[in-house]
Structure 1
Amino acid sequence: MLTLHAAPLVRLAPDDAAPLHDAAVAVDGDRIAAVGPLDALRGTYPRARVRQWPGTLGPGLVHDAPVPDAPSPRERIHALLRLGA
């Protein structure tokens, strides 16, 4: 099933200076089919399921907020996950 993963910001590269606003990544199975403005992808894939995500989607994990203090790396990851990262 094709899914549009939508977010307020979508980065095409980790160091991308200009992310796409109100964009999405179209995923078909285990492959990326397209990246672009959400409205355009909804027109191209009208039957696709849409999943809305907060924050920024990008190629890999990019956490653009302050990292919580924690006594160990493992506990820091758990703290990030509790915050919705």
Structure 2
Amino acid sequence: MYAEQLRAGSLVGERRVIRKSTGLMNGVAWVFVRFHDGSRGEYRVGRRVPGIPPRTDMPAGPVGAGRGVRSTGAGWRDGESAGDRHSRFIDRLVYA
């Protein structure tokens, strides 16, 4: 889990997060958290928080088959209606 994904109730090691705020320290964005035992933590934005496995409560989402994002055929095509575009996206989605 990345630092910006922390929220109240998250477990870091054996400590539960009760408060989170963001700020700058020496010109770098940080996430500051307060734990239930009164201690504090500081984690840099965009970095993984040590000791936390990836979140499993979020869906995997669409995964492009083939050439990545370009395989979903993003963008409007000439003469295409919104319904046609939606159908094209849905037909090409592959879920992990």
Give the TM-score of the pair, scaled to structure 2.
0.26
Higher share of residues assigned strand: 1
Give the TM-score of the pair, scaled to structure 1.
0.28
